[in-house]
Amino acid sequence: MKKSFTLLEILVVIGIIAILVNLGFASYSTVQKKARDAKRQGDLKAAQQIMEQCYSANSFQYPIINNSSGTLTATCPAPNTNITFTITDPLNTDTYIYTIASTTSTYTITAPDLETSTTNFSVSNQQ
């Protein structure tokens, strides 16, 4: 008599492997979302620091922030045009767009509804 696996045993093993793959995929997806949220927050904090540098180097005026399809840009006016930043959203799509309220005396940049929470993350002027 030959020893081999039955069809039922093979199907059970395939089912267990499918469940483990689905669990791994779900946690990998969550980790990716958290990483993108952390990148958004880090980018906005860096933008805040650059805006404050420009404020102190440019007669106490902030540069105007431009928003185009999820990409934020700002360049300090002359003579300090070397102070600049460009932020592109980690998803790199037009669907995720930052909200901006910006003048030469104040600014607020908001990343609405982060992927892992329903709260907004904002940075604003410190002066």
Name the region of 50 (left: φ>0; alpha: ψ -120 to 50; beta: rest).
alpha
Cβ proximity of 68 and 80 under 8 Å: no
The residue ranges of the chain whose pLDDT is under 50 are none
What pLDDT score was predicted for residue 20?
93
What pLDDT score was predicted for residue 18?
95
Whether a cis peptide bond, with omega within 30° of 0, leads into 79 is: yes
| pTM of the shown model | 0.76
Every domain of the chain and the residues it spans: 7-124
pLDDT in tens, 38-63: 998 999 999 999 999 999 888 888 88
What pLDDT score was predicted for residue 99?
82
